Structure 1
Amino acid sequence: MEYITITKENIEQEHICCALSKNNDIQVSSKKKWMKECLDDGLVFIKSKERGKCFIEYIPAQNAWIPIIAKDYMYINCLWVSGSLKGHGYANDLLDACIRDSQAKGMKGICILSSAKKKPFLADPKFLKYKGFSISDESDNGISLWHLSFEETALPIFKACAKHPHINEKGYVLYYTNQCPFNGKYVPLLVECANKHNIDFKTVKLTSKKEAQNAPTPITNYALFYNGNYLTNEQMNEKKFLKLINQ
């Protein structure tokens, strides 16, 4: 498999692997705009040359859009291999590339979000264990911070706002960023759905690194709360949202 690293020079010509390819699609344009801003902060996006969901996205932890303390660590935003590209060792290729690059840049380890049991849109804990990762911290809602250290150093931890996720608002409140391209399409659909069904629903878009690093949730690209309590990080269409509410 050949891989391509996204840069400011090629980002407009390259697809970003989430089954989306047209730059005029709000999902693509919002994601690429976010990526361009983060490239100056050390964001790295490596994807398969073959079209499909096969990529890794990582950034120095001090610049990650997530409430953690992880000095001299690289944080992996997303490692995704699925569909026909799964089962060929490409996830190993991508993770190994991240490790080599992180070591070359003087990082002391890498970290990523997951959970004790597999959850949607999070790294598979079985794969992380297989690759030598272990849990360094865990939030009250079961989201874990996993690490792979290259040398003895302080382990990554959640900030208090992420370790104890809670908000003082009633109704449904969705925190999100443009990091996930699907938000460009599905967040407006939920707003429309909530208005149509008179559901108490509010969105909070995190538009800066500082906001994301102090958010009341360990997952910042999509986190839904109800009456102050965290519910899920799973992106939803109208059908799934109404099903959740009825439950």
Structure 2
Amino acid sequence: MEYINVTNENIDKEHICCAISNNNDIQVSSKKEWLKEQFREGLVFLKSAERGKCFIEYLPAENAWNPISADGYMYIDCLWVAGSFKGHGYGEDLLNACMEDSKSKGKKGLCILSSEKKKPFLSDSKFLQYKGFKVCDEADNGIQLWYLPFAADAPLPEFKECARHPHIEEKGYVLYYTSQCPFNAKYVPIVEEVAKENGVSFRAIHLQSKEEAQNAPTPVTTYALFYDGAYLTNEQMNDRKFLKLLSR
């Protein structure tokens, strides 16, 4: 498998989304604009030459858009291997490349979000365990912080207190999200419109800086939906999924 390192120099011509082939789609363009800013913060986006089938996205944990304390670590935003490409070792290729790069940059280890039970858009904990990762912290909603230290005396990464007990005071549906996930650019406005049509209280909070994301009341900042203060899910909603949620 051939891999391509996406940078500010080639991002305009490279395909970067796992599900959307049209580079002019607002979902793709918004993600690319987010990536362009993060490249300046040390983000690495390594993908397969095959369109959007396998990729890893990581950056220094100090610049991660998540409320974690993991100074000196590299944080993996996303490790994705799609469909028929699973089971061929491509995920290991990408993770190994991340490990080698992180060690060359003097990092203490890697950290990543996962969960004991599989949750949407989070890495598989069984794969992480197989690769030597261990749980170092867990929030009340089951989101876990996993780490792979490069030295035995490396300090444990941990969640910030604001994310350890995901809860807010606001009533109704409240969504925290970032431009990291391409689907948000299309579907957040759609869900807002569905809520309006059904007379449902819904407020979307677009986290637009790492400082905002690092102080969010949720470990997952790409998409975190609350209802009457309680955390519900990190699964992106479209109109059908949201209407199904409302019917419960």
TM-score range, shorter chain: over 0.9
1:22, 1:28 within 8 Å by CA — same for their partners in 2?
yes
2:58, 2:75 within 8 Å by CA — same for their partners in 1?
yes
Larger displacement relative to structure 2 (127-136 or 46-55): 46-55
In 2, Cα distance between the equivalents of 1:53 and 1:162? 31
How far residue 40 of structure 1 moved from its aligned partner, in angstroms, is: 0.5
Residue of structure 2 in register with 1:52 after alignment: 52
Look up the SS of the partner of 1:47 in the other structure.
Answer: strand
Residue of structure 2 in register with 1:19 after alignment: 19
> What is the root-mean-square deviation in Å for CA atoms of aligned residues?
0.8
1:70, 1:156 within 8 Å by CA — same for their partners in 2?
yes
Matched length: 247
How far residue 86 of structure 1 moved from its aligned partner, in angstroms, is: 1.2
Residue 31 (structure 1) aligned with residue 31 (structure 2): yes
Residue of structure 2 in register with 1:156 after alignment: 157
The one-letter amino acid of 1:30's match is S
In 2, Cα distance between the equivalents of 1:109 and 1:29? 32
1:44, 1:57 within 8 Å by CA — same for their partners in 2?
yes
Residue of structure 2 in register with 1:214 after alignment: 215
1:17, 1:55 within 8 Å by CA — same for their partners in 2?
no
Equivalent residues in 2 for 1:86-125, closer than 5 Å: 86-125=86-125
The one-letter amino acid of 1:203's match is A
1:57-108 CA-to-partner distances (Å, cap 9, x unmatched) read 0000000000000010000000010112111110000000000000000001
Equivalent residues in 2 for 1:91-240, closer than 5 Å: 91-151=91-151, 152-240=153-241
Look up the SS of the partner of 2:24 in the other structure.
Answer: coil
Q: Which ranges of structure 1 fall in alignment gaps of 5 or more residues?
A: none
In 2, Cα distance between the equivalents of 1:113 and 1:71? 16
How far residue 42 of structure 1 moved from its aligned partner, in angstroms, is: 0.2
In 2, Cα distance between the equivalents of 1:218 and 1:17? 23
The one-letter amino acid of 1:130's match is Y
1:133-178 CA-to-partner distances (Å, cap 9, x unmatched) read 0000000111000000001121100000111111110000000000
How far residue 111 of structure 1 moved from its aligned partner, in angstroms, is: 0.3
1:17, 1:47 within 8 Å by CA — same for their partners in 2?
no
How far residue 242 of structure 1 moved from its aligned partner, in angstroms, is: 1.3
The one-letter amino acid of 1:126's match is K
Q: Which ranges of structure 2 fall in alignment gaps of 5 or more residues?
A: none
Instruction: Give me the TM-score of the superposition, normalised by structure 1.
Output: 0.98
In 1, Cα distance between the equivalents of 2:238 and 2:69? 33
Instruction: Give me the TM-score of the superposition, normalised by structure 2.
Output: 0.98
1:173, 1:202 within 8 Å by CA — same for their partners in 2?
yes
2:15, 2:52 within 8 Å by CA — same for their partners in 1?
no
How far residue 230 of structure 1 moved from its aligned partner, in angstroms, is: 0.4
The one-letter amino acid of 1:177's match is T
The one-letter amino acid of 1:199's match is V
Look up the SS of the partner of 1:231 in the other structure.
Answer: strand
In 2, Cα distance between the equivalents of 1:23 and 1:7? 16
How far residue 198 of structure 1 moved from its aligned partner, in angstroms, is: 0.9
